[in-house]
Structures are given as structure tokens and as C-alpha cells.
Structure 1
């Protein structure tokens, strides 16, 4: 339960001041021995803790997932395997798994979303990383417009969707090979571009290093670069930018809650 929700329930007389006091007296993390769950992260940063699933033993992952779900009413995991999905589903039947992005999530129903983020890929092979970015942004409350397979080898495909891309508060450019898509978009939009190099490409692409170097050395302005295949990081930053871009909507929502 979020701090605001606790305070609203006190205001509405649904819980006592004593019960609310117990909530706020909790230490800012829950120590499981093998993990320390950052239960106050959303209070500090506006985003709850996310689970990096890859490499976690089954029992640890299941317990962490359930504890975070109980804390927040939802939980989000990245880089999960199909096996890990089955493990978590045993203890949390409502969890869903996307085989493209490898995201494991249990989400609150009827979640409100604001603004717009455009997630673009150079090719179809870049979509798994792009979906990690897009679904991260959607989970954190952003509307996402997907513009896939618009790389520089057929620039007319990108131009045909340019009006949609230019309306977004932030643009995520996901590309492997030589990674030129970010530079092209940087010269066509007035909003920040987050470049995501992918490990897609032949031998000399060096598992995404060539795309990373191209993006870092772009002559276009307004481009920031995350690590190779880091769709989650791009989706997170894009959400922060989107929240700034639609600040008025969030103020209106706060006023509605306060009435």
C-alpha cells in the first residue's frame, strides 16, 4: 500500500491513526536474508522496485515476487524465463508472461495512463528489446506508440509515421547493426531521444558495440544512450520524461483525489 493510500484511508475513516502509524514505523526495507526488498522506493523515487529475474533461484524469485506484490498490489519482473513464469504462477496465479520481452508481471486493473512515448525500432529483430522498453513504460503509467521496423535502409517507412513520433513527449530508438536510427530521429523531433543499442548484427557489430559507439558519437542533438539491450532502462527514463511532459494531467488527478 502506498503512503498516499494510507493517508487517504485515514482521512476517510477506513483505518485508524494507530494502524497508519504502524505502517510508517516500518523499516524502509524488508530483510529476507538473501534479499533486502526496498519497500519505500516508490515513496522516494516515484517508482516501485522491479525484479531482475535472470539468475535468481526459484524459491528466492517466488518469495520476492509475492512479497512485492503484497506490498504494492502489483509486481514487475524483467529477463524472466518460461520456467520462472511457471514457478511464480504456482504461488501467484494472476501473473502473466510475455515471451517476446520476457517480462513477468501482475498488474493492477484499470490503470490510468498519460502522455505518449514513441518506441521505434530499426528492424523486427530489435523488437524484444523495444517491447521491454514499451511494457516498462506502460507499467509505470505511460501511453506507448509502437513504430517498428523503420530503419534507415527504407527511410520512407519512418517518414510515413513521423507525425505520430513528433507528438510524443519522448522517443526511444532501438537499433542494432550500425545503430543509425537514433541519429535520424534526433534530427527530426523536438523531444528527447533515448537510444538503445541492441546486440543484433553480424560479426563486426561486436554484439552491439558498433551500435553503441555510433549512438554515443551521434552528431544529432538531444540524444542520450543506455547500455546494450537495456530496454528496461530506456523505458524507465522515458517514463520520467513523459511524467514531466504531462505534468498538468497529473496535477488534475491530484486535485480530483483531494476533493
Structure 2
């Protein structure tokens, strides 16, 4: 972030030379921070509503720490996905307030306290084995300022478990359905509610599930209207999309 540019813009705004709209437009165009191995998009929150998220897979702990430092320098909340405990320990030495979410494999640093969006995001799993992907979604949705509830292990193999919680489904503004095997739960939920349903196929299942390809295709071919689908095991992507939907609720 070029502080001198921002200060000059704000000064011009104070003396009436430029309107605030123009100031914000200029800030949106300011360059990223080039740190050699990465180019940190420090203005993504201005453009998209949430800071850049660190995808840790393939990065070293040292790289994760440096990127995290540039994100939180602007008093931004920080989310890192697919993180190892080794990465967390490196981050927590620099930022003691960092939290590691074991099942979700995420690291969070909370710098802001915001009023939650009005709508509820409900996260459902077909089985217990799907919970790690659902937890990635839960942590993501919560740090993005949403009220989140979970309903785990209510798959179609025992559909009465889902139907017993039908009233909970009707309270949600967005529902994320996480399922492996044949992925049928997304279609079932989509036929019961009047809100958007985001399906997350998981790589859980026996050989013919093809590491998530079968539930992916099943969800894409859902006969229930209102079901959209993200990539295999992408709890983060589902929660990000759900948050964008949820924050539009008045």
C-alpha cells in the first residue's frame, strides 16, 4: 500500500478537491505488495469485501508467515486454508492471537469485530467423514461475519435423521450440503427448502465414487432447482459464495 498516495488523496478530499467516490476508486487501483515469491493483494477487501485468503498447500511455513504479516498489517482478519500445524506454529510465534482449527486445517487471526449478517448459513453433512470439509466451510463463513449452524451426519442412508430436523432447514438463508459417496443429499435438501443450496462433493467413498467425481456429477445433475455446486472438497469456496449471498439479506 502506498501510504503517501492515500494521504494525498485524503488531504484533497478534506479540502474539497476530490469527492470520496474518487478517493475510493483510486485506492481500489493501488498496486499489490510484491514480496518476491508472492504478490499480496492488500486491497482485495475494498474490492471484494474480504481480504485475500492464503491457500497454504505448496507453501513453506516461512512464506505463510510473511504473507499473513502483510494481510494483518492493515488490521484485516486473516484466513489461511489447507494449513498444517507446523505452519500454525510458525504463524503463532509472530501472531499469538492466531487460532488453528484442526479438523478444518485452517488458521485464523481476527482483527475486527463486526455485526453478523442477518441471515443464517446452515452447513449439513451426509456423514461424519465429511465433517473436515464442512468445518473448513464453517470457519470460513464465521470469519466472514456470518451466523452459522451445523447439522452433521444426516445423510440419505437414514433420511429420518434429516426429516427430524426439517424445521432447522427452513430457518436458513443459505444451506451448504457436504456429501461424498453418491452425493444424493444435495438434491434431497434442494427439494425441501426455498433458499439457495450449495453442494460440496467430497472425496469420501469407495472405488466407484472416483475420489469425488461421482458425487460431483450427481450434484451437477440434481433434479432439484436452486442447487449449485462447487469443486470437490471445496468447503472454503462454498462458504465464500454463501457469505456473498447471505450479506445481501436485509
- Determine the structure 2 residue equivalent to 1:153: 157
Is contact 2:174–2:196 with CA below 8 Å preserved after alignment? yes
In structure 1, distance between residues paired with 2:68 and 2:111: 15
1:16/1:75 CA distance change after superposition, 3 Å? farther
Question: Quick one: distance in 2 between partners of 1:176 and 1:24?
Answer: 43
Q: CA deviation at 1:203?
A: 1.1
More helix as a share of residues:
1
Q: 1:134 aligns to what?
A: 138
Where 2:247 maps in the other structure, the secondary structure is: helix
- The match for 1:199 is 203
- The alignment covers a number of residue pairs equal to 234
Q: Which runs of 5 or more residues in structure 2 are unaligned? A: none
Paired with 2:77 and 2:63, the residues of 1 have a C-alpha distance of: 18
User: Shift of residue 192 of structure 1?
Assistant: 0.7
Choose the corresponding residue for 1:165, options 166, 169, 172.
169
What's the offset of the Cα at 1:58?
A: 2.2
Which blocks of at least 5 consecutive residues in structure 1 are unaligned? 249-259
TM-score for both structures, normalised by structure 1: 0.84
Aligned counterparts of 1:116 and 1:164: Cα–Cα separation in 2? 10
Root mean square deviation, CA, Å: 2.5
Instruction: Give the 4+ runs in structure 1 shifted more than 4 A.
Output: 23-26
Q: Does 1:62 align with 2:53?
A: no
My pick for the range that moved more, 85-94 or 107-116, is: 107-116
Pick which of 232-241 and 110-119 moved more.
110-119
Give the equivalent residue in structure 2 for 1:45.
48
TM-score, normalised to structure 2, is 0.87
The CA distance in 1 between the partners of 2:77 and 2:191, in whole Å, is 38
Shift of 1:92: 1.2
1:128-176, Cα deviation, whole Å (9 max, x unpaired): 0011111111111110110111000111111111111111111100000
Partner residue in 2 for 1:235: 239
Report how far residue 24 of structure 1 moved: 4.2
Q: Spell out, residue by residue over 1:17-39, the C-alpha distance to the aligned partner (whole angstroms, 9 max, x if none).
A: 9xx98x94983311111111111
Change (3 A) 1:90 1:181: same
- The 2-side partners of 1:155 and 1:16 are apart by 65
Query: What does 1:173-252 correspond to in 2, within 5 Å?
Result: 173-244=177-248, 246=249, 248=250
